Chains A and B, each alone.
Chain A
Amino acid sequence: MSNAEIQVIYKRPESLTDLHTTYCPGCTHGVAHRLVAEVIDEMGIREKVIGVAPVGCSVFAYNYFNMDFVEAAHGRAPAMATGIKRVLPQNTVFTYQGDGDLASIGMAEIMHAAARGENITVVFINNAIYGMTGGQMAPTTLPGMKTTSSPYGRDVELAGYPIKMAEILSVMEGSGYVVRRSLHDAKHIRQAKKAIRLAFETQERGLGFSMVELLSSCPTNWGLTPQKALEFVEERMVPVFPLGDYKVNAELETLKV
């Protein structure tokens, strides 16, 4: 191969801007953003995508994605996405939400978006903690896990149990594709990307609501190094939040991506 034929094998996706993010070192938001951006590039849909950013660490997601974006109130992204999709059905609409946003304050909005079979895609970052406000207990915080608002560890007798969104949303008849993946190592990241692709394909085919739950790390608020935080995802979170396909529309099962 001559020099003139050098091939680009790795570059920033067109769907990402070249801005530095506000995410902490070792946080998996950057990985999740990149996966979403790669999928949008590969599907060639960037110019028709409208994203909906949440409230939480990814509140500025609209600065990092190179596409039309709106910023929702806390938890309301699925409602906002519904409004957009209903008046612009030819566009591709996705929300990017954390666990406090989606599984606590926005529980009604996500449940009913799924129940209606809203043709939107949801990227759900589950890191078991409120990151932006400095590490409080989330609806997905593990039993016994210490946070600034559960300083003695989450006592399930008083603070209840972690909410398993993929399982819950999978029983909605309006759901076309609901899966849980993890971002703790390269193999699982590749699986996560495939799932994100299938979630967007679900929307493109009009098969209803799609959500990919991504187990993610929060080294800063967990008080762990980035590497230890990834081990925490694998060893502590995966047993509580089992990875898997919870709802897959039959039309997607034969789809090769």
Chain B
Amino acid sequence: MAKELIKGNEAFAEAAIRAGVEGFFGYPITPSTEFLEHMAKRMPELGRAFVQAESEVAAINMVYGAACTGKRVMTASSSPGLSLMMEGISYIAGTEVPVVVINVMRGGPGLGNISPSQGDYYQMVKGGGHGDYFPIVLAPASVQEAIDNIALAFDLAEKYRSVVHVIADGNMGQMMEPAELPPMREIPTESPPWAVTGAKGRDPNILTSIYIDPVDEEVTDLRLLKRWKEVEKNEVRYEEYEMEDAEIAIVAFGTSARVTSSAIHDAREEGIKVGLFRPITLAPYPQKRLAEIAEQVERILVIEMNSGMMLDDVQRVVQGRVPIEFYGRMGGITPLPGEILDEIRRVAQNEDEVEGDPRNEWMARLEKSILGGK
């Protein structure tokens, strides 16, 4: 199939349709709305379920119910919507049913704005809902990668009976770029053995997240943890760019990684040996490879569109082997390649140790640049 020029959100939605999604339940929210609109048009054409719910709370619980039947089902939303969905996501995780949730992140906290952000890192990667569970989190950096990750997300969700988040940001949802959609997958006719489909000729199936005896809950939580260990072993994904001889490693994901690649190209022309390490799975985090990189490079620069959330994970993995610096933009601002190039130049010349929180110096510089030193 040939590449076509396609808008992010519509591409993600069509990718889900081609991956065999049988139910979509959602609520309009910028900057993810085109996802829902595409589903509203396409799902009825194919005789599949589409409901515009009364809220994100209802939407995720419709997804929850439909997932209990063993069908491929999903929702897509944006940051404030995800906050509302966290109740349902925790129940889904506790019930061990496969669900795919797309978050096209926007600036926050609160109502924030509709500009692209990566400020939901903690919420999406560290759990977000209550209790002991571990979502799988994929962070694509292009429309094509998002298309590929959506099919992967369904496979992972079913393999591990897990919640899988695909997190993009407003840039990826809204931009158009050439991409190739996969062929239509056939919808399986068999239901998984645990699904509720009506107890015809078998014992009833019961799907619940309640384990009133703490011993049973601990057994369940241990099962989830052991399954997570399998995910950590099998499903780590990342990409490296210009890393072979790199002395500075930039760690970034999604859109900030993409902007960083252009800056790296320019920095290399200036003779700075800099490369990019880009986690594709934010959970499980590619910690083994990052630890190896920390042995190879002299300095690490973390770049994010938030206040330094993945920075925590980088610090945890690197454990002081090399100095770590941070550069971020918040509030729905995407850094420009020139800003990142300036950061690379600065880091290349900086031989000082980083004292304390790597964010301290960045905060001072940011304050000066956005408030003009006022």
Contacts and interface: CB of A to CB of B under 8 A. Distances in A.
B61 A69 contact: no
Interface in A98-121: 108-109, 111-112, 116
A236 interface: no
Contacts of A88: 69, 197-198
Contact of A87 (B53, B57, B71): B71
Interface string A51-73: 01100000100110111111111
Contact of A47 (B54, B63, B200): B200
B205 A68 contact: yes
B58 A109 contact: yes
Contacts of B53: 79, 112
B210 A76 contact: no
A89 B57 CA distance: 22
B364 to A, nearest CB: 45
Contacts of B54: 108-109, 111-112
A67 B20 CA distance: 28
A108 B61 CA distance: 12
B208 interface: yes
Interface residues of B, number: 39
Contacts of A81: 65
B217 to A, nearest CB: 14
A83 B62 contact: yes
A108 B53 CA distance: 10
Interface in B307-346: none
A69 B69 CA distance: 10
Given A62-B206, A83-B25, A91 B198 contact: yes
A112 B58 contact: yes
A52 B197 contact: no
Contacts of B49: 86-87
Contacts of B199: 46-47, 66-68
A59 B212 CA distance: 11
Interface in A121-168: none
B310 to A, nearest CB: 30
B88 interface: yes
A49 interface: yes
B122 to A, nearest CB: 23
Contacts of B51: 82-83, 86, 116
A172 interface: no
Contacts of A84: 65-66, 68-69, 196
A108 B62 CA distance: 13
A73 B87 CA distance: 8
A109 B62 CA distance: 10
B209 A86 contact: no
Contacts of B73: 83, 87
Contact of A70 (B63, B87, B207): B207
A88 B71 CA distance: 9
B55 interface: yes
Interface in B269-284: none
A84 B51 CA distance: 12
B91 interface: yes
Given A67-B199, A69-B196, A84-B69, A79 B204 contact: no
Contacts of A71: 95, 206-210
A188 interface: no
Contacts of B66: 83-84, 86-87
17 contacts: A50-B198, A62-B206, A66-B199, A68-B205, A69-B204, A69-B205, A70-B196, A70-B206, A71-B208, A76-B88, A79-B58, A79-B61, A83-B23, A84-B196, A87-B49, A87-B71, A109-B61
Given A50-B69, A109-B61, 4 more contacts: A70-B196, A82-B58, A83-B73, A88-B198
